[in-house]
Amino acid sequence: MSRVIRPVVLTILGVIWLAPLYLLLVNAAKPAAEYASDAVWRPIAEFALVDNIVDAWERAGLGEAVLSTVIYSIAGPAVAVLIGAAIGYAIVALRLKHGFFWFVLVFGGTVFPLQMIILPLFVGYAEVGLFDTRLGMIAVYAAISVPFSALVMRNFLGGIAHQVFEAAVMDGATTWRIFWRIYLPMSRSALVAVFILQATFVWNDLLLGLALSQSGDVRPLMTALTSMQSTYGGSQLPTVLAGGLLVSLPTVVLFLSTQRFFTRGLNLGQF
Amino acid sequence: MTGTSVAPRERGASYQWSARAFGLPAVLVVAVLLYLPFVWTSVISFTEYNGLGSPEWVGLANYREMFDDPNFLTSLRNTLLWVVGTITIPVGLGLLIAVMTYDMRFGVWFRLPFLITYAVSPVAVGVVWSFVLQNGGGLSQVLEAFGLPGAENRWLLDEPMNTLVMIGAWAWQQTGVNALLFVIGLQSIPKEPLEAAKMDGAAGWRLFRHMLWPMLRPLTTVVVGLALVASLKTFDIVMAMTEGGPGRSSETLALTMYREAFVNSAYGMGSAVALFLSVVTFIAAITYLRRQLSPRHEW
Amino acid sequence: MRIRYSATVAGLAASALVLAACGGDDEDEYGSGGAEAPGSLSFYTDKAAWEPQFLQVSDVSENALGLTLDFTGYSEADQYSAFIRQSFRTDEKPDLFTWHTGSELEDLVAEGLVAPTTDIWQQSIDEGNVPGDLREHFTIDGEQYCVPMNAAYWVMYYNTKVFAEHDIKEPTTWDELVAAADKLVAAGQTPFYETNILFSFVWFQTLLAGTDPELYAALSSGEASYTDAGVVDVMNRWREMHEKGYFGDPGDQTEPQVQLKNGTVAMINFGTFLSGQLNSVDMVSGTDYDFFIIPKVNPDLEQTPLIFETGPICTAEEAQNRDLALQYASWWMTEEAQTTWANARGDVSFNPKALINDEQLASLNQEAGTDGYQLLERYFEATPTPVLTAALDEFSAFVTNPGDPMPHLETIQAEAEAYWSDQG
């Protein structure tokens, strides 16, 4: 019975979920002048996706921003994942005193509305010379990602029996070695999940990019892309969609290529 | 390296120094880059400040004005709708999808549609959902084609409908993330007891209720905790789709804050809303996490 | 497997950091932006999408002055305003930046943050580069600040095919305009574009300025009330127009140029910068679209009110290249700069000597300077920011659900009273 129900339910939901994506593809492929809001579902024979993508690429001047955005999306979350795992390890395995307090302190970083901290950050960055530097951007992206990372890692590492730690200590391993060689590899799927979610967030960030950078080779991608769409942009919807589609490709590929970490079998049970 | 060498004779000793070293980077980074700027914001909330010159101390005036404003109540109501909506729909669906797919053949593939939507750029998402939700747009066309009622709805123009449909759009984007987190939780459930339960004939609802759900608890905490915090701060999707309008009918607290600080350059007032929002979020999150992560459940 | 995995993580993190560090080095080599290089001025604007046009002018100025613009664009006007304000506290003070006249500029001047341009204005007026009438919008306490970046008039665009199809000529009186709208409605064609996002004020502006320009001016200076009978009448007229089905769907987020092109609406009440946007959807000026000056609503007015919009380019008083930036600002008003700028944008210019390629725009530029017209500042700039914010929200709600205007007007008036009492 459930063998039938599950695929059916999942397929129905899947179709609903894919419908807006269909709209995205179909309308991104329409010639800019052919798009009409009362015929969004209807595809048009003339296939202009490539033209629209090229148009978006040129209009927004995306080329320059790609490298820096790739760097931010890898470095920021990578640092955050490690830092988050480290404090999770400190609390759960090393039994850090007042662990809950420290955890709350770190997780508390997530309650502040980002919109309100960008102004003081901007002034602070300008004062210490981090404004408009890649290092500054990575630091802030890492900081933003740490609370989430700490929450997930703390809970995930909590699922590892403390005997694992004790046994490793018996074998004479250092705390660093236990962290690096045992706890991190055991939490692969959580690390990957946190990383891809945060990398996607950084890749799509607009707010921090606008606030803390200025020159072409430091500014991230979205600041360039959204200018097309602004009141003064005057770009057509198909062009905007094509641009959105283009910048979605890396994150989609990232999600697809990491799915193998989430298949049954890589579970903690095997350790 | 940085780790303390642990000789067997130290067994049972505490690793406090080591623990502090591991915890320090997170505390440091968060304190400097998130707390410090927010301290500034908090101070500004007791002043009148237009972003230029010196802030002028006005005590609690901003807070009094904030609570007196009827629009603040609308924002509060919409924000509560977002909290309830986010915790039920994307989290509930995420759980459903995770439980249905985690041990299924091709489960990864069935999960993909939900994940890809998260990977799509917000720029495109905003435009596509305005296609779907504008008057006579994609959604209305579908309803009409299937002879269903509701095609004449002005989805984004009438309250509280506009907030509800935007929660739907948000669910579309976020369900996959929650599903993914639940899958990780399901993967960390030890195989043996699960297999044993299945051998005993547990399946479907019973298996879920008595095996999976209790063991998923840590991850449920994570997912609900995150949804709670994120929903209280709802901003991007509303900004992209209605900018809080028409009028101020779909404004959330984060938009009220933005409106005051950025649109009106009234940073004192904007900061007051921000501080209120942060305190509410903090209390909600801590109350929730404390209950869920109380020492009794500490591993 | 475990070892390989750890190594991968370490490698990934390390390589990312190395890359980042390299990026940092690059930064030091080139300096942050080219602003420090001689001959380059840091230039900030919230009109990020106009980068190509600004750079075209920059190319011309490189030859003419030996100065170029180092462009930084923001796409979100509100955030832009916040960053410029904060930048005055840092060493990143802008050489040149676009801004808004009215209360936004007054804020900056009150703190002494903007370099005065009184001499530049006098010289430009003497040389005939800018009409003297424009000066008042840039004057605070007797001194001028900033120079005009652009100019635009608010006129009625129409789709020529739709007009021809329904046998409609360009209306020259308000009654003819109303008759045209009635005719279109009868034929099932929506006459006018309207939106509830940002530009929700447009028809209020047109109707009030066209009915009672003095009241329009008094409202923006706080001397009249939003609940005055004259304003209420205008709102009721606007409401009647809604009831007659004159306006398109205010929630339609399809761009105005596409709505005009597809014939979703027959006419759009918009700034002349719409020309550039219409050209970008392959509509040809004079063939596919055209525009006319909106007739006065009240036929007894001597002059036809014409809404005029201008945005300033300013220089920070303590900018690194203050004097060069002022030199640039002065040049910006010249015929050479304005001809390049206006044609690049496909818009009119404040400089009457600028050669506008688009015939329709060129003749508007001529006509607007004649006695038949009274130029009125756009509502957006004429209204103080907090009042404007409230008004945009109320008009947005009103166009979405047209009904009794009083609650909306009372809300705006409450905000206006709070603002003007604060001003002492």
Convert the pLDDT of each residue in B149-197 to its tens digit.
888 889 999 988 999 999 999 999 999 989 988 988 887 777 777 788 8
Tell me what the mean pLDDT of segment A149-154 comes to.
Answer: 92
Alpha-carbon distance A58 to A36, whole Å?
24
With a CB-CB cutoff of 8 Å, which residues 42-101 of chain A face chain B? Answer: 83-84, 86-87, 89-92, 94-97, 100
Q: Assess B55–A contact: CB distance below 8 Å, yes or no.
A: no
Q: Does any CB of chain B come closer than 8 Å to the CB of residue C401?
A: yes
Give percent of chain C with pLDDT exceeding 70.
91
Specify the pTM: 0.87
What's the average model confidence in pLDDT over C276-299? 92
How many Cα neighbours within 13 Å face the side chain of A79?
A: 26
Residue of chain A minimizing CA distance to C19: A71
- In degrees and rounded to multiples of 5, residue C45 shows phi and psi of -150, 155
Task: Break chain B into its structural domains and give their ranges.
Answer: 43-297
Which residue of chain A is at minimal alpha-carbon distance from C258? Answer: A33
| B115 with A255: Cβ contact below 8 A | yes
Express each pLDDT in B283-297 by its tens digit.
998 888 887 765 544
Q: What is the pLDDT of residue A57?
A: 81
pLDDT of A194 reads 92
pLDDT band at C3 (very low <50, low <70, confident <90, very high): very low
- CA dist A255 and A197 (Å) reads 9
CA dist C383 → A138, A246, B48 (Å): 41, 40, 21
Q: Give chain C positions within 8 Å (CB) of B259.
A: 389
Count of pairs with CB atoms under 8 A, one residue in B, one in C? 76
pLDDT in tens, B110-124: 888 999 998 888 888
What percent of chain C lies above the pLDDT cut of 90?
68
pLDDT higher than threshold 80 for residue C156: yes
- 8 Å CB contact between A155 and A37: no
Contact C376, C209 (CB under 8 A): yes
In the three-class reduction of DSSP (H, G, I as helix; E, B as strand; rest coil), residue C97 is classed as strand
Mode of pairing for the β-strands spanning C96-98 and C40-45:
parallel
Using CA coordinates, name the residue in chain A closest to C26.
A217
CB contact under 8 Å between A230 and C75, yes or no, is yes
- Helix B70-101 to helix B107-119 angle (10° resolution) is 150
**pLDDT mean over B98-102:** 87
Closest CA to B7 of A171, A183, A182, A92: A171
Residues B125-146 pLDDT 10s: 888 898 899 888 889 989 988 9
Residues C362-373: what's their mean pLDDT?
A: 87
| pLDDT at residue C225, rounded to an integer | 96
pLDDT tens-digit map of B217-265: 878 888 898 899 999 999 988 988 888 889 899 999 999 999 998 888 8
Nearest CA in chain C to B54: C111
* Separation CA B230–CA A43 (nearest Å): 36
Element (H, E) at A162: helix A162-170
In this predicted structure, the answer to whether residue C22 has a pLDDT above a threshold of 80 is no
Q: Do A174 and B180 touch (CB under 8 A)?
A: no
Identify all chain A residues contacting C281, using CB atoms and an 8 Å cutoff. Answer: 32-33, 236
Two tokens, residue B280 = 């509410």
Taking the C-alpha atoms of residue B285 and residue B247, their distance in angstroms, rounded to an integer, is 31
Residues of chain C contacting residue B264, judged by C-beta atoms under 8 Å apart: 385-386, 389
- Tell me the one-letter amino acid at A210: L
Render pLDDT for B42-68 as a digit per residue (tens, 0 to 9).
999 999 998 888 899 999 999 999 999
Question: Kind and range of the H or E element at C42?
Answer: strand C40-45
Residue B195 class from Cβ within 10 Å (0-12 exposed, 13-18 middle, 19+ buried)? exposed
pLDDT in tens, A73-109: 999 999 999 999 999 999 999 999 999 899 999 999 9
Q: Establish whether this prediction's ipTM goes over 0.90.
A: no
- What pLDDT does C23 receive? 43
CA distance C21 to chain A (A): 7
Closest Cα in chain B, distance from residue A72 (Å): 16
Average pLDDT, chain C: 88
Q: Do B123 and A169 touch (CB under 8 A)?
A: no
Other C-beta atoms closer than 10 Å to the C-beta of C161 total 14
Fold of C40-151+309-363: D-Maltodextrin-Binding Protein; domain 2 (3.40.190)
C35 burial via Cβ count (<10 Å: 0-12, 13-18, 19+)? buried
Q: Which of C275, C273, C291 is nearest to C47 (CA)?
A: C273
Q: What 3-state class would DSSP assign to A23?
A: helix
Length, in residues, of chain C: 424
**Residue A200 burial by Cβ neighbours in a 10 Å radius (0-12, 13-18, 19+):** buried
Question: Contacts of residue C113 in chain B, CB cutoff 8 Å?
Answer: 52
Q: How far apart (Å, rounded) are the C-alpha atoms in residues C420 and C221?
A: 9
Q: What pLDDT, in 10s, does the model give residues C34-87? A: 444 458 999 999 888 888 899 999 999 999 999 999 998 888 888 888 889 988
- Contacts of residue C167, Cβ cutoff 8 Å, sequence gap at least 6: none
Q: From CA B49, how far away is CA C64, in angstroms rounded?
A: 42
How confident is the model at residue A29, as a pLDDT?
87
Give the pair of three-digit tokens for residue A216.
């072409």
Q: How far apart are CA C323 and CA C301, in angstroms?
A: 45
Bridge partner residues of C70 (DSSP):
C42
Instruction: Work out the mean pLDDT of chain B and round it to a whole number.
Output: 86
Q: Where in chain C is the domain with CATH 3.40.190.10?
A: 40-151+309-363, 153-307+378-422
pLDDT tens for C193-251 read 999 888 999 999 999 999 999 999 999 999 999 999 999 999 999 999 999 999 999 98
Could you tell me the pLDDT band of residue A269, with boundaries at 50, 70 and 90? Answer: very low
pLDDT of residue C11: 53
- Tell me what pLDDT residue C424 has: 65
The CATH label, of 3.40.190.10, 3.20.20.70, 3.30.1300.10, 2.40.160.20, for the domain at C153-307+378-422 is: 3.40.190.10
Q: How far apart are CA B208 and CA B203, in angstroms?
A: 7
- All structural domains of chain A: 58-270 (1.10.3720.10)
CATH architecture of B43-297: Orthogonal Bundle (1.10)
CB contacts of B266 in chain C (<8 Å) are: 386
Residue C316 has a pLDDT of: 95
Tell me what the mean pLDDT of segment A31-51 comes to: 79
